[in-house]
Amino acid sequence: MFDALKGLGNPLALMGKVREMQEKMGQMQEELGRKQVTADAGGGMVAATVNGRMELVKLHIDKSRVDLNDTDMLEDLIVAAVAAAQNKASEVNKAELQRMADEMGLPPGMLPG
């Protein structure tokens, strides 16, 4: 479990390991930024797509199901769809961080999440 941390008593080895971890974190953040997840609300009336940085990249509204006289409901559905997509993206990010920690042999909780 701690094989990845062997030799960290040596300051040069420690610095090298920290640099390696920083590079891997940077690569993972780039990968997560390219991933997109979609969630909907109102039975598909509104669908929101966010990337791994939690940025809204697409919003789809099924115009055939929208009641223009009830914009309050539409606004609520938009908020709900965006929140659901962000929650889904957050779960993907957590799973990727855990995978990375496991690959590096780090104990749980060592990487931010």
pLDDT of residue 109: 64
Q: What is the mean predicted confidence (pLDDT) over 17-35?
A: 80
Assigned superfamily of 3-104: Nucleoid-associated protein YbaB-like domain (3.30.1310.10)
Closest CA to 110 of 25, 40, 48, 44: 25
**Is 0.75 surpassed by the pTM of this model?**
no
Percent of the residues in the chain that have a pLDDT greater than 90, as a whole number: 45
Distance CA 110, CA 95 (A): 14
Sequence-ordered strand ranges (E) for the chain? 36-41, 46-51, 56-61
pLDDT of residue 71: 92
Per DSSP, the three-state class of 85 is helix
> Contact 48/58 with Cβ under 8 angstroms?
yes
